Amino acid sequence: AFVKPSARDDAWYRFDDEQVTRVTEQDAVADNFGGPAPGAQRDAVLSHFRCANAYMLVYIRKSAMHRVLCPIEYDDIPRAVHERFEKERKQNGMPKDAAEAHIYVSVKVVDPALLAQHSDFDLIDFNTVPDVRFRRLDSYQTFTQQLEELLKIPQAEMQFWKWEPRLNGTCRPSFYIPNPTNDEVAIEKVFLLPPKSKEPLHLFVHGSIPTPLLPVNCSVTSLASLATATSHTHTDKGCVLLFLKAYDAAKATLMMLGLQIVGLNTSLSELFAIVTSSIHELSMDTSYDVYEEVRPSLVERLDPQLTVDQAALEDGDILIFQPQKKPTFRRGGSRFEHPTREGDVPATQAT
């Protein structure tokens, strides 16, 4: 059954047993009168014909539309209907939350402020990220409004990435989600949620972050450029999302510096200015040893003269910068075994 529950918008919904999904007016009306499917040949086989046919149409007088299609409150539903639903739920032995699980999606949202609190390998421990529950059919507008209240990121500036598992066991925000052109689109479509999936949705969200003071010839791109990105892949948008960390050899600790959108032709040494702008006690001419954090406890040393493309860096990769100063790393007794100057890197930690 197809239902248009409100006269205030053009939203149609398809009711298929316990599944309710939002559809277009084309799906709900024009495609339910049989006939050949769009583009089908005259001599096409039966599978190319539409089999859906309307068998009951309900008409509403325009003058009564707002009265008939007014919002339905909980108290508007007859008590007998409530009692029947409750009885059926108990007979099925299914708790209310479980019976309605397919309606909702649990979302774990990570933002730069949460990343800044993480001082270990990787980007985040998802056990520390609270769940936020949304209806799968909530509009993108409703979703971002609630996130703005929680995260204090302006709704108009929000950019989303889905966390994706990698073959090496890590999970990184590497799938860019373009902002929908229609804010009323359901979030299950925006974030490509699998039907009936009970797995939580892991998202990374950021707003427009001020670009650090950089040399004139630096080819680093502002985060705001994401607003015009059309794909999450570095091959067709010409840049990648990188996360930057600094290693303090004296304290044997890692510090999250932030994130940046970097052009493929940018050399790693051009990023030194961004790192130094975040560590005020260092001079602007500071050079660094550069490492890629492949996975927890495994880093690989990179030549700073390589470009992002030559280093085969991808969306979600992590770079660690260590100032080229007199090494003060003490072997043993420290919480972390992080990269230090050449010759001090444990063989099992870096290559």
* Same structural domain, 111 and 60: no
Residue 14 belongs to what domain range?
A: 2-71
CB 267 within 8 A of CB 219: no
pTM comes to 0.62
Q: Which pLDDT band, with edges at 50, 70 and 90, does 347 fall under?
A: very low
* Same structural domain, 200 and 242: no
Give me the torsion for CA of 303, 163, 116, 290, rounded to 10°: 0
* Same structural domain, 120 and 186: yes
What pLDDT is stored for residue 251 in this prediction?
Answer: 81
* Same structural domain, 64 and 107: no
What pLDDT is stored for residue 122 in this prediction?
Answer: 92
What pLDDT is stored for residue 220 in this prediction?
Answer: 44
* Secondary structure of residue 324 in the 3-state scheme: coil
Tens digits of residue pLDDT in 44-80: 444 455 666 666 777 888 888 777 777 777 777 888 8
Comparing CA positions, the residue from 215, 212, 204, 149 lying closest to residue 175 is 204
What pLDDT is stored for residue 16 in this prediction?
Answer: 76
What pLDDT is stored for residue 187 in this prediction?
Answer: 92
* Same structural domain, 231 and 277: yes
Alpha-carbon distance 123 to 112, whole Å? 10
Which strand (E) or helix (H) includes residue 7? none
Give me the torsion for CA of 222, 226, 232, 235, rounded to 10°: -50
* Same structural domain, 199 and 107: yes
What pLDDT is stored for residue 330 in this prediction?
Answer: 38
Encoded tokens for 183: 């804010």
Encoded tokens for 15: 């009711």
What pLDDT is stored for residue 326 in this prediction?
Answer: 47
Who has greater pLDDT, 280 or 174?
A: 174
Alpha-carbon distance 95 to 165, whole Å? 32
**Burial class, 2, CB count within 10 angstroms (exposed 0-12 / middle 13-18 / buried 19+):** middle
Q: What is the 3-state secondary structure (H, E, C) of 96-131?
A: HHHHCHHHEEEEEEECHHHHHCCCCCCCCCHHHCCE
Q: Which of 175, 206, 237 is the last residue of a domain?
A: 206
* Same structural domain, 119 and 157: yes
Alpha-carbon distance 261 to 23, whole Å? 35
10 in any annotated domain: yes
- Spell out the residues 6+ positions from residue 31 whose beta carbon is closer than 8 angstroms to its own: 50, 52
307 in any annotated domain: yes
Q: Which pLDDT band, with edges at 50, 70 and 90, does 26 fall under?
A: confident
276 in any annotated domain: yes
Tens digits of residue pLDDT in 274-301: 888 777 666 666 788 999 999 988 999 9
Percent of the chain past pLDDT 90, that is, above it, reads 28
89 in any annotated domain: no
* Same structural domain, 199 and 235: no
What pLDDT is stored for residue 101 in this prediction?
Answer: 62
Q: Amino acid identity of 127?
A: N
What pLDDT is stored for residue 149 in this prediction?
Answer: 92
User: What CATH number is given to the structural domain containing 138?
Assistant: 3.10.20.90
What pLDDT is stored for residue 315 in this prediction?
Answer: 92
Comparing CA positions, the residue from 105, 132, 316 lying closest to residue 199 is 105
* Same structural domain, 235 and 202: no
Tens digits of residue pLDDT in 230-254: 233 333 468 889 999 998 888 888 8
258 in any annotated domain: yes
65 in any annotated domain: yes
Q: Which of 80-89, 146-155, 317-326 has the lowest mean pLDDT?
A: 80-89
94 in any annotated domain: no
Any bridge partners for residue 160, and if so which?
177, 205
Tens digits of residue pLDDT in 122-157: 999 998 898 999 989 899 999 999 999 999 999 999
337 in any annotated domain: no
Query: What value does the CA radius of gyration of the chain take, rounded to a whole number of Å?
Result: 27
- Tokens 């739920």, residue located: 89
Q: Amino acid identity of 59?
A: Y
- Report how many domains make up the chain: 3
Q: Which of 150, 184, 206 is the last residue of a domain?
A: 206
The residue count of the chain comes to 351
Encoded tokens for 125: 């421990």
- Tokens 């039966």, residue located: 46
Residue 191: pLDDT over 70 = yes
CA within 13 Å, CB half, 237: 21
